[in-house]
């Protein structure tokens, strides 16, 4: 298929490009920009006048709920939702049922995903067998099957010796490890930030040290082993301070936050809204402001949706009994744009955090626009308003704290591997 994307404002954060020009796509790649190549016969034309053309989004945490959790969402539904969100590459955490701890499961997932429209899927393998934190998985085999990193997802790693061994083994295989710092004992049975709202509502608390104690352990073990560690979903100001020192000391660590933590705080849980029940918990306004600041500075490398579609039954429960997580892959772009607008940053800076930078963490050839690059593109209207609702969300998970909110910025087309996998107002 040969595509011409005409008249769009092309923004590529990696090169600083920001200019209205045409893009020509053939055989899955960008073949020309500005001038059409000779003998280019357009089969599909996208009129991007008034729209922004940027690299397709790279989302570091999208739960596709397969295998095993199809009652929450299906691979097909979430792939469609991701494409509608402008996402062209995604990493999926291993917290499926069974977890992604065997090469066969990973191969099957990759095979199924490849045969349907939607983003390129990069599975994150389980670091330990069944995510139990006891026995290492066959990381070498899993990497051959397609795993790009290894993680415990939100499962705990209680035994520090296993963590040390896992990091040493990952270094041996030259594989990255993704960890969300959370101390098992300090977070046990907790559901909300240990702050003013938990004090008022009597919700079992998760104190900030649940994150910082675990983070300190991880950082010391990174220092010891030299393992490449990506820190997932940091939630507190204190943890960001530790990250700053670690990066300053040259430790090989990167970090992301969930987009909801950029906008929301414990205050949003004050009416027991189960859609605001997340891991890690939404913390204080001070923590949220520190996250926004660190994201602007670049201390935080990337924002992800931490997409977690949950069925209604699991959310229509008292807060502490509800399933944690929020649907978000379709909100990553507008919520990142909202943050940048409020922080006085440019479109390019916003796009950078959800394209180029997460692609570097994944180590994939994505997140850039240039001749010869894969044709993974997102075309969006930065000014279009739309209302988040069960109807407008394509994900089977309708569990969004932003239900009923109007957001600015809407995806019009998503091009993946040279195919138009999403067009606004068209159901696949």
Residue 15 Cβ vs other proteins, minimum distance, rounded to whole Å: 47
Q: Is 134 in the site for other proteins (CB under 8 A)?
A: no
Binding residue for other proteins, selected from 13, 55, 205, 281, defined by CB under 8 A? 205
Residue 200 Cβ vs other proteins, minimum distance, rounded to whole Å: 6
Binding residue for other proteins, selected from 66, 76, 154, 194, defined by CB under 8 A? 194
Q: Note whether 151 and 63 are within 8 A (CB).
A: no
Q: ∠243-244-246 over CA atoms, to 5°?
A: 60
Q: State yes or no: is 268 an active-site residue.
A: no
Of residues 289 and 316, the one with the C-beta less far from other proteins: 316
Of residues 114 and 317, the one with the C-beta less far from other proteins: 317
Q: Note whether 141 and 164 are within 8 A (CB).
A: no
CA nearest to 306, candidates 37, 5, 95:
95
Task: State the DSSP code for 274.
Answer: G
Can you tell me the distance from the alpha carbon of 105 to that of 111, in angstroms, rounded to the nearest whole number?
Answer: 10
Of residues 205 and 328, the one with the C-beta less far from other proteins: 205
Residue 403 Cβ vs other proteins, minimum distance, rounded to whole Å: 14
Residue 197 Cβ vs other proteins, minimum distance, rounded to whole Å: 8
Q: Note whether 382 and 275 are within 8 A (CB).
A: no
Size of site (CB under 8 A) for other proteins? 22
Of residues 124 and 198, the one with the C-beta less far from other proteins: 198
Q: Is 401 in the site for other proteins (CB under 8 A)?
A: no
Of residues 273 and 392, the one with the C-beta less far from other proteins: 273
Q: Is 156 in the site for other proteins (CB under 8 A)?
A: no
Strand 192-193 to 205-206 pairing: parallel
Residue 267 Cβ vs other proteins, minimum distance, rounded to whole Å: 10
Q: Note whether 71 and 347 are within 8 A (CB).
A: no
Of residues 353 and 398, the one with the C-beta less far from other proteins: 398
Would you say the C-alpha torsion 413, 64, 350, 333 has a positive or negative sign? positive
Residue 30 Cβ vs other proteins, minimum distance, rounded to whole Å: 50
Residue 163 Cβ vs other proteins, minimum distance, rounded to whole Å: 24
Single out the segment in contact with other proteins by CB under 8 A; choices: 80-88, 200-208, 250-258, 379-387: 200-208
Q: Is 374 in the site for other proteins (CB under 8 A)?
A: no
Q: Is 390 in the site for other proteins (CB under 8 A)?
A: no
Angle between helices 237-248 and 209-225 (to 10 degrees): 10
Of residues 130 and 317, the one with the C-beta less far from other proteins: 317
Residues 232-291 that bind other proteins (CB under 8 A): 270-272
Residue 316 Cβ vs other proteins, minimum distance, rounded to whole Å: 6
Q: Is 310 in the site for other proteins (CB under 8 A)?
A: no
Would you say the C-alpha torsion 28, 30, 34, 35 has a positive or negative sign? negative
Residues 71-130 that bind other proteins (CB under 8 A): none
Single out the segment in contact with other proteins by CB under 8 A; choices: 14-22, 39-47, 80-88, 314-322: 314-322
CA nearest to 409, candidates 324, 323, 351:
351
Q: Is 321 in the site for other proteins (CB under 8 A)?
A: yes
Q: Is 316 in the site for other proteins (CB under 8 A)?
A: yes
Catalytic residue among 59, 306, 376, 421: 306
Q: Is 318 in the site for other proteins (CB under 8 A)?
A: yes
Q: Note whether 40 and 32 are within 8 A (CB).
A: yes
Can you tell me the distance from the alpha carbon of 121 to that of 113, in angstroms, rounded to the nearest whole number?
Answer: 7
Residue 209 Cβ vs other proteins, minimum distance, rounded to whole Å: 11
Can you tell me the distance from the alpha carbon of 343 to that of 288, in angstroms, rounded to the nearest whole number?
Answer: 13
CA nearest to 42, candidates 29, 54, 62, 24:
24
Of residues 193 and 230, the one with the C-beta less far from other proteins: 193
Single out the segment in contact with other proteins by CB under 8 A; choices: 96-104, 129-137, 189-197, 392-400: 189-197
CA-to-CA separations, 121 to 12, 93, 133, 310, 390, in angstroms, rounded: 22, 11, 25, 20, 25
Helix H, strand E, coil C: the string for 286-322 is HHHHHHHHHHHHCCCCEEECCECCCCHHHHCCCHHHC
Q: Is 40 in the site for other proteins (CB under 8 A)?
A: no
CA nearest to 350, candidates 295, 424, 289:
295
Angle between helices 285-297 and 332-343 (to 10 degrees): 90
Please report, as ranges, the residues that interact with other proteins according to CB under 8 A: 194-196, 198-205, 207, 270-272, 313, 316-321
The catalytic residues are 306
């Amino acid at each position: 298929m040969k595509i011409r994307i005409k008249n769009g404002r092309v923004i590529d954060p990696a090169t600083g490009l920001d200019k209205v020009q045409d893009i020509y796509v053939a055989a899955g790649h960008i073949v020309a920009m500005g001038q059409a190549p000779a003998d280019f016969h357009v089969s599909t034309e996208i009129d991007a006048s008034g729209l922004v053309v940027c690299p397709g989004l790279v989302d570091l945490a999208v739960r596709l709920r397969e295998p095993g959790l199809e009652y929450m969402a299906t691979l097909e539904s979430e792939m469609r939702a991701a494409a509608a969100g402008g996402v062209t590459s995604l990493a999926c955490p291993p917290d499926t049922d069974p977890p992604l701890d065997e090469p066969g499961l990973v191969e099957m997932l990759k095979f199924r995903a490849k045969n349907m429209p939607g983003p390129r899927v990069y599975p994150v393998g389980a670091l330990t067998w069944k995510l139990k934190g006891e026995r290492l998985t066959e990381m070498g085999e899993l990497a051959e099957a397609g795993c790009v990193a290894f993680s415990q997802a939100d499962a705990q790693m209680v035994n520090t010796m296993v963590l040390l061994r896992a990091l040493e083994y990952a270094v041996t295989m030259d594989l990255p490890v993704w960890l969300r710092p959370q101390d098992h004992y300090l977070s046990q049975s907790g559901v909300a930030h240990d702050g003013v709202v938990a004090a008022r509502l009597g919700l079992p608390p998760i104190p900030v040290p649940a994150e910082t104690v675990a983070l300190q352990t991880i950082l010391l073990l990174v220092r010891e082993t030299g393992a490449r560690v990506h820190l997932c979903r940091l939630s507190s100001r204190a943890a960001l301070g530790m990250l700053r020192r670690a990066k300053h000391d040259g430790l090989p660590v990167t970090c992301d936050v969930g987009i909801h933590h950029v906008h929301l705080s414990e205050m949003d849980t004050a009416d027991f809204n189960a859609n605001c029940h997340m891991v890690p918990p939404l913390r204080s306004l001070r923590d949220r402001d520190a996250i926004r600041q660190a994201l602007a500075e670049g201390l935080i490398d990337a924002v992800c949706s931490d997409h977690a579609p949950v069925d209604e039954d699991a959310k229509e429960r008292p807060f502490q009994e509800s399933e944690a997580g929020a649907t978000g892959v379709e909100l990553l772009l507008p919520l990142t744009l909202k943050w940048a607008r409020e922080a006085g940053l440019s479109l390019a800076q916003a796009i950078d955090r959800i394209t180029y930078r997460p692609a570097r963490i994944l180590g994939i050839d994505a997140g850039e626009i240039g001749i010869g690059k894969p044709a993974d593109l997102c075309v969006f209207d930065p000014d279009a308003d739309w209302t988040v609702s069960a109807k407008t969300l394509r994900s089977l998970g309708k569990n969004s704290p932003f239900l009923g909110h109007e957001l600015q910025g809407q995806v019009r087309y998503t091009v993946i591997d040279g195919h138009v996998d999403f067009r606004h107002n068209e159901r696949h």
